Structure 1
Amino acid sequence: MESPCIKTCVINPKDGLCDGCFRSRHEIACWSSYSDAERRTIMQELKLRRVRANG
């Protein structure tokens, strides 16, 4: 599974999430070691985070 990174790597100090992909620092750091199932779960969570961030 590919990374959700869009090369806009800025961690928002308010919520600790990347402004580009909405992953946490921990998720970014561990992405390559996650199983496909773990990545799919995070990808689903990212959709919700994006909706919340964009109101």
Structure 2
Amino acid sequence: MNKHLPQEQDREILSQLSTEELVSNIIEQGNVIRELHNRVLELQQEIDRLKLSRDLDSKIS
């Protein structure tokens, strides 16, 4: 996921881009958001699994 960090873009930089470049940026941002969302879900599932494992271990002890 750490392919590369996008270049920081401010209003001045964005105002110089063509419509096609802006659309590409929006699509790329959507893809990154989707990847991050999926990763958050995976990590939440892992947290839940670890909590369950911890709870079971404490009941056994």
Normalising by structure 1, we get a TM-score of 0.48
Richer in helix (by share): 2
Q: Which has the larger radius of gyration?
A: 2
Q: Normalising by structure 2, what TM-score?
A: 0.44
Higher relative contact order (CA 8 A, sep 6+): 1
